[in-house]
Amino acid sequence: MMLDSNADAKPEVRSARFALARELNHMGARVRIATVPPLDGVNGPDDLIAVGGDEAISSVLELAQPSPEVITAEVEAAIGEILAAKPNIGAEHMRRALDAVADVSDHIDRTMLEGRIAAAVRGVVPKDTIVREVSARRQEREARQQDFSSRNREAELRAVPVDAARLIEEIETFFADRAHLPEGAARVLSYFALNTWTFKLFDTVPYLSLESAVPGCGKSTVIRLLDALSCRSRKASSLSEAVMFRLIDAEGPTLLVDEAETIDGRSERAEALRAIAHEGYKQGGQVPRCQGEEHDVRWFDVYCPKTFAAIGGLTGALLDRCLVIHMEKAPKGSVRKSTRHRALHRDRQELVVQLEAYALQSSDALRRLYEAEPDCGYWPSITDREAELWGPLLIHARLAGPDCEAKLIAVVDKFSEEEAEIKSADSKIAKTIALLDAISTHPDTTFTPGDVVPTLAQSEAWGRTLAEVKGRNDDSVRISQAAKVGYFLRNFRLRGKKNGTGHMAYESAAAIACLSAHVPQNFPKSPKPPKPPSQNHCVIQLPGNNASLVGPETKEGFGCQSPESGDANPEPSDGQGLDLLNSARVAVAVLTNDEDDRTNSVMMEGEI
């Protein structure tokens, strides 16, 4: 019996169905009730065929259940058949009885009927087997129902009209109306929320860092807003390592971690959480853990979008994987929309349906667009980690249209600059920049860690570290301070040589080139280093033949671009280059653009 979807809502239809089912059952028919799902625009089976096709109607028939009014009678009949067939009970008898019992929804009724079947087949089939078989049938049925529900939902969502550009604007307004955000942040949040619904299409997923200097700047509010719009969002302020990787593996949620200051700590737990977060921003990111009594190694998938809200923000590698929104207190008297639970629940409904529909309808187009991206990227100016983080969001923008793309690119530029500034405050990066500065100002072509200690001691990044060094006397303090710098330099795998005094000496040019590659690009306050030999003209025509010497390739990053390539600081630096050039130990001769250096260039050619 497959009546219209409103059958349950109409008492007279319900009672008529019951009467008919009872009558048919009395006649010996086996009655099943097939329920047409109450979808938009669907009343009868004909409407369901129009919306969901033949497959939908087949699913409805497959999931037909016995009428509750007659189910007990069916089980009784099945038990009667078993008793009549005894002792020659066939598999068919058992199958029918088990199917009938599995259809009983009430747990107590079901348990009693299982007992009755067990009594009927005592000595032939153990009761455990009956219970297990009934349970397996119910699970299978539930899985089929779940599958059917999701297919129905999919059919519904495919019919929802979605305008991606408008949706992005609406989400942006949703955030902007409810939280005090810096310029461009609402747009970033909009794309982030959008991407949570489709992140599995991409190789990377950006994290979000909500940071503020003091409490009360609205980080938790933004977390609540993201919770309302993100896909399978999970909000947590206290996470253990096990909860984190098991939750991500099981659900692939959007993880919203409030009060994330602890993650940036030095505890074992913080390190474990960080390790998972570091791994989980790339598709296929997994962590191994032992599981079960046999200690089997299992790999847990940890790839998912994550948001961290912390006073003071994040540092290190985790910061590097985040889009950073620096929040400030809202001005007094500013009025925003309510973020209470009920208000959010009400306002989010339509947007979530749109987001779901967008994810379903646009996934193929997004995948094609992503796969067709050239090696240099659709946006060549956005490279490396930035490309990994912003790429997925820009793909959404590109799909939404050129206007959306242009607006997001403007936001990317602004955020990249701000993020570079934030990263520069990170202690290791700040120390690297200070060290770079110190090496640049060092007059010789080689330096020992001890040579740069006096300069570093004046810097903010190193001052405290070096001041805390203790020793028996000044000499031992100086040695310890130099050791600190030496240990730090080891991170960069620089090759040094012991000089005449037995100290490790490094080549300045090589050190500058190496360290430059480790500080953020577009760093707005970076010191102006001397141009290393390779950064000016790289090719010298040797007199007498047509051979040329080619210098090392220009490295990206801190001050290494040639003026022609659009260097932010094209002016020549403070003459350090000349010292390098005059040295016989510089491997490759260099010509500069500056008039004053031309003579030196000639000299160099002569020397060569």
Partner 1 sequence: MNLTPVDLQKFEVLGIGSELLEQACVERVTDGEARREYGVTLAGDMSGIVFPYFSPMDGLRRTCRLRRDHPEIERGKPRKKYVVAYGDRRHLYFVPGCAELVNDHSVPVVLVEAEKSALALVAGLNASSRSCFLSQWADVLDGGDASASRRAPTANGWTKQARCPILLSAVIEM
**Which is nearer to partner 1, 96 or 219 (by Cβ)?**
96
- Mapped onto helix, strand or coil, the DSSP state of residue 298 is strand
Give the DSSP letter of residue 525: T
**Applying CB under 8 A, which of residues 13, 165, 457, 483 lies at the interface with partner 1?**
13
**Which is nearer to partner 1, 144 or 498 (by Cβ)?**
144
Q: How many CB atoms lie within 10 A of CB 471?
A: 12
Indicate whether 28 belongs to the interface with partner 1 (CB under 8 A). Answer: yes
Only one of the segments 2-10, 333-341, 485-493, 494-502 lies at the binding site for partner 1 (rule: CB under 8 A); that segment is 2-10
Per-residue DSSP letters for 231-281?
TTEEEESS--HHHHHHHHHHH--EEEESSGGGGGSSSHHHHHHHHHHHHTT
**Which is nearer to partner 1, 104 or 412 (by Cβ)?**
104
Contact 204, 281 (CB under 8 A): yes
Which tokens go with 92? 């068919």
Phi, psi of 520 (to 5 degrees): -60, 145
Indicate whether 73 belongs to the interface with partner 1 (CB under 8 A). Answer: no
Indicate whether 484 belongs to the interface with partner 1 (CB under 8 A). Answer: no
H/E stretch holding 124 reads none
Residues 6 or more apart in contact with residue 402 via CB below 8 angstroms:
none
Q: How far apart are CA 207 and CA 219, in angstroms?
A: 15
Only one of the segments 60-68, 261-269, 425-433, 503-511 lies at the binding site for partner 1 (rule: CB under 8 A); that segment is 60-68
Only one of the segments 39-47, 152-160, 170-178, 241-249 lies at the binding site for partner 1 (rule: CB under 8 A); that segment is 39-47
**Which is nearer to partner 1, 92 or 607 (by Cβ)?**
92
Phi, psi of 528 (to 5 degrees): -85, 105
Residue 50 Cβ, how far from partner 1 at the closest point, in Å?
5
**Applying CB under 8 A, which of residues 96, 178, 187, 407 lies at the interface with partner 1?**
96
Positive/negative CA dihedral, 557, 562, 566, 572: positive
**Which is nearer to partner 1, 14 or 368 (by Cβ)?**
14
**Applying CB under 8 A, which of residues 14, 58, 80, 240 lies at the interface with partner 1?**
58
Q: How far apart are CA 201 and CA 175, in angstroms?
A: 25
Q: How many CB atoms lie within 10 A of CB 437?
A: 20
Residue 269 Cβ, how far from partner 1 at the closest point, in Å?
51
Q: How many CB atoms lie within 10 A of CB 455?
A: 17
**Applying CB under 8 A, which of residues 62, 350, 384, 556 lies at the interface with partner 1?**
62
**Which is nearer to partner 1, 6 or 349 (by Cβ)?**
6
Residue 357 Cβ, how far from partner 1 at the closest point, in Å?
21
Only one of the segments 49-57, 115-123, 188-196, 382-390 lies at the binding site for partner 1 (rule: CB under 8 A); that segment is 49-57
Residue type, 476: S
Indicate whether 46 belongs to the interface with partner 1 (CB under 8 A). Answer: yes
Q: How far apart are CA 45 and CA 5, in angstroms?
A: 8
Which tokens go with 314? 């994040």
**Applying CB under 8 A, which of residues 8, 35, 57, 428 lies at the interface with partner 1?**
57
**Applying CB under 8 A, which of residues 40, 55, 76, 251 lies at the interface with partner 1?**
55
Residue 48 Cβ, how far from partner 1 at the closest point, in Å?
9
Residues at the interface with partner 1 (CB under 8 A): 1-4, 12-13, 16-17, 19-20, 23-24, 27-30, 32, 34, 44-47, 49-50, 53-55, 57-58, 61-62, 64, 92, 95-96, 99
